[in-house]
Chain A
Amino acid sequence: QKEVEQDPGPLSVPEGAIVSLNCTYSNSAFQYFMWYRQYSRKGPELLMYTYSSGNKEDGRFTAQVDKSSKYISLFIRDSQPSDSATYLCATMNAGNMLTFGGGTRLMVKP
């Protein structure tokens, strides 16, 4: 079983839709959770990180962690074509090393 799993997509939505991206993880010891955005042929860039359970909001983006179910979510409100990218969730282990999910490809159509 992979430590962090994501549906690879692609997920196609119309402009303005609310997007929900999800990951599951297996190691209950993980405490920190990140979302990276990766445009085609570019390096990933950090969007948000959260600690333990709860929500964190940054503009149109909301990250949510449910440790009881080992479930991580990223919500994008009022999605834009510029949000089209691959979204990678990641967790940090005890050694402060990142473990990434496989990424979900999102396409927002005008």
Chain B
Amino acid sequence: SQTIHQWPATLVQPVGSPLSLECTVEGTSNPNLYWYRQAAGRGLQLLFYSVGIGQISSEVPQNLSASRPQDRQFILSSKKLLLSDSGFYLCAWSATAAVTDTQYFGPGTRLTVL
């Protein structure tokens, strides 16, 4: 069966520090991968998605970036964190981009920028 992992589970970082969040998927090949952010009391906002190694599409311009160095690894990064980057970051995967292929979410990383 497929599983999706995210780490760390929680993170507290000062403003201006770098960020690296990692997501890995097991039990499937060539998944579509997604990064979402969920701010307090708000819905999920799609940040990036990837349909293959090295292929990244950005939905929202910001100081975050994403990379996919391996088929089942998706990394969210920032060179300098802002207060507004605080939130709950969720990685998700789907078999394809078709609507009938469910997006499965990881457990999330709660980021607090102070």
CA distance A24 to B41 in the complex (A): 17
Whether A98 pairs with B98 at a CB distance below 8 angstroms is no
Whether A45 pairs with B43 at a CB distance below 8 angstroms is no
Q: Looking at the complex, which one of A4, A51, A96 makes contact with B97 (CB distance below 8 Å)?
A: A96
For A45, what are the chain B residues with a Cβ–Cβ distance below 8 Å?
Answer: 105
Residues of A that sit less than 8 Å from B by CB: 4, 6, 8, 31-32, 41-46, 49, 51, 88, 90, 92, 95-98, 100-103
CB-based nearest B residue for A43 = B105
Q: Does B106 contact A (CB under 8 A)?
A: yes
Interface size class of B (residues with CB under 8 A): 20 to 34
13 sampled A-B residue pairs with Cβ under 8 A: A6-B43, A41-B88, A42-B108, A43-B107, A51-B99, A90-B44, A96-B98, A96-B99, A98-B44, A100-B44, A102-B41, A102-B43, A103-B42
The tally of CB-CB contacts under 8 A between chains A and B is 49
Residues of B that sit less than 8 Å from A by CB: 41-46, 49, 59, 88, 90, 92, 97-99, 102-108, 110
- Closest Cβ–Cβ distance, residue A4 to chain B (whole Å): 7
Whether A42 pairs with B59 at a CB distance below 8 angstroms is no
Whether A43 pairs with B108 at a CB distance below 8 angstroms is yes
CB-based nearest A residue for B88 = A41
CA distance A80 to B43 in the complex (A): 24
- Closest Cβ–Cβ distance, residue A54 to chain B (whole Å): 16
For B44, what are the chain A residues with a Cβ–Cβ distance below 8 Å?
Answer: 44, 88, 90, 98, 100
CA distance A31 to B98 in the complex (A): 12
- Closest Cβ–Cβ distance, residue A27 to chain B (whole Å): 15
For B90, what are the chain A residues with a Cβ–Cβ distance below 8 Å?
Answer: 43-44
Whether B107 pairs with A42 at a CB distance below 8 angstroms is yes
